[in-house]
Amino acid sequence: VTGTVLGASVTNLERLLRMPYGCGEQNMINFAPAVFVLDCLGPREATPDTVAKAVRIMKTGYQRELTYRRTDGSYSAFGNNDPAGSTWLTAFVLSIYAQAAAFIPMDPQALAGPSLDFLLSKQQPDGSFAEAGRVIHADMQGAGASGAAGLTAYVCASLVRVIRSCRRHPDLSCSQQAVGPHSRLASALRSGLRFVYDDYRARPADFRPSDLAVAAYAARLAIDDDLGGAGGPEGAKLASFLWLHLYEASRALDGGIKRYWPGSGDADGSVETTSYALLTALARADFQTAAPALRWLSGRQGDLGGFHSTQDTVVGLQAMAQFARSHPGGDGVGSVTVTWPGQPEPLRFGLGPANRSLLQQREIGRGQAARALDGEVFVSGTGSGVALVTVAYAYNLLDSPVGWIAADWTRRGGVGLRLADNWPLGGFAPADGSSVEVAVCATANNGPGMYIVSLSHPSGFAVDEHTPVGGSVARVESESDELVFYLSEISLFHLHPKLKDLTECQVCPDCPQCRKPTNVEI
C-alpha cells in the first residue's frame, strides 16, 4: 500500500530491471527510470536517500552511455564497434539526457551537439526520419517506434524535450540558432509532424495503434508553449485530430472505471500504447481519461514496480510518473483496510503527507494459509488523495539436483543450450593447478536480436582462456566470477572456456554447502 502510484518503483529503483550493463541499449534502460522517478517526486516528497540513489544511477548511466557515442555523434549498442549508429537509440538517449539535465551536470555538446546533428541528418525530404542502424535489443524499442510513422513521431517527441531542456536550463548554453522557433530543429519538428499527419490521412487502416499513440503524444507536446514553432491553429488541429482517433481506438472496462488501448495484435491491451495515451491525456489535462487508463496500467505492474518487458517498463513508468506529478493527491489523509477469510483482525494502513511515498508491506499468508485465501482479499479505503494497493503472490520452484553429467540440448522460447564438461562422473575437481574444459553450445532461431550468454565460475576456479566460435560476438566481459558474451545473432555458437584451479582458494570436496556450481544462461 502506498500513497503515490510510484511507491513500489521508488523503493525498488535499482531492481526494476535485471540485466548486464554491457551495451549502450541496456545501460539506458537502467538510466531512464531513475530520471522519471525523481522528476515526479520533486523536492517535496523525495527523501535524501531516494535523491542520492537516483542521482547516483543517473551519473553512472550518463558517464557510461558516453562511451557508446560514435564519432559521428550517434549512439549504438556497442559504439564504434557497430557498423552504424541507431536513429531510434540516439533519439532515446537525447530525450533522457534532456530530462536528466535538471538533476545532474550535463555537457551541452552531449545534448545539442553532434548527436543532434546526426539525428537531423536522418530526416528525409518528405519529413520522415530513417533508421540508420538498428536496435539489437528489439524488445527495448517496442512496437511504437519501429515503423516510419512511429519512428518519426518518436524522434519529434525527443526533439521537443531537447528544446524544452535548453529553454529551461540556460547553463546548457544552447544557441537560439539551434533551438529557436526559426532554427533547423524547429523546422525538422514541423516537417516530421506533418509527415505523420499526412501518412495517417493516407492510410488510416494500416496505422498501428502504437504509431498513433506516439504520434498523438508528440503532436500534443509540440503545441505546448509553441515549442519549435509547431503551435498555432494548424498545430492544435493536428494534435486534436490525432487524439480524437486515438481515443476512438480505446476500450473501456468495468463500466468505464478502467480504460486501455490495444496494441498490434494484442487485443487484451498494450502497456506501451496505453502509456502513450495516458501521457497524451495528461498533457491535455484530461483526467477523466487519464484516471481510468492509470487504473488499468497499475494492474499490469509487477510487485517491484516494473512491467513485463523493458520498453513497457520504461514508458509505463514515465506515464505513471507524469500522472503522479500532475495529480499528487495534495495533503489528503486516508486509510486503507485489508481483510480476508479467516483473519480475526483487519489490516489498516494509514496514509498522509509524511508517508505518502513509503511502500507499506505486510505478509498475509504463507504455505497452507496462503492457499486457503483462494484469491479472496477485500480492500476498502476512506479519506482523500491517491492510494495504490497491490496484492502480490510469490512462490518457489524446486530445482533439480546439480549433476556433473553432460546435458542434452534444452530448448525454450526459440533458444537452445547444451552443456558438457570433462570432469569424471562422480568426481569433484581435478588435481590442484590443473584445468578443466567446459563446452557450451547455444543456438537461436528468433533471428537477429540481443543475445547474452553468461557463464559463472564454479567454486575454486577462474577462467584461464576462452575462444568463442560462431555467432556475432559484439562484446566480452570477463569478471572475477562470471564470463559474459553479447551477441547480435546466433546460428550456432560454441564456447570452450578453460577453467583453471585456484590453488590459493581451496574448496572442501566434502562440504556441499561450500560448492557453487557453474551456471550457464542464455
d(CA 288, CA 293) in angstroms, rounded, equals 9
**Segment 395-431, tens digit of pLDDT:** 776 655 444 444 566 666 667 776 665 544 444 444 4
Strand ranges for 384-511 from DSSP E: 410-412, 415-421, 435-444, 451-456, 461-465, 468-469, 473-478, 482-487, 493-495, 498-501
Name the DSSP letter for residue 458: P
pLDDT digits (tens, 9 = 90+) for 254-293: 888 999 998 765 556 688 899 999 999 999 999 999 999 9
- Percent of the chain topping pLDDT 70: 68
Name the residue among 28, 32, 34 with its Cα closest to residue 10: 34
pLDDT band for 75, please (50, 70, 90 cuts).
very high
Structural domains of the chain sorted by starting position, each given as residue range(s) with its CATH number in brackets: 410-521 (2.60.40.690)
Q: How many residues does the chain have?
A: 522
Residue closest to 186 by CA, chosen among 240, 123, 245, 130: 123
Over residues 220-234, the pLDDT tens digits come to 888 865 555 555 567
Contact 349, 385 (CB under 8 A): no
1-60 residue pLDDT tens: 877 777 666 666 656 545 446 678 878 877 888 888 787 766 566 678 878 888 888 898
Residue with cell 491517491: 386
Q: How far, in Å, are 341, 367, 371, 377 from residue 374 at the CA level?
A: 9, 12, 6, 9
Whether pTM > 0.95 for this model: the answer is: no
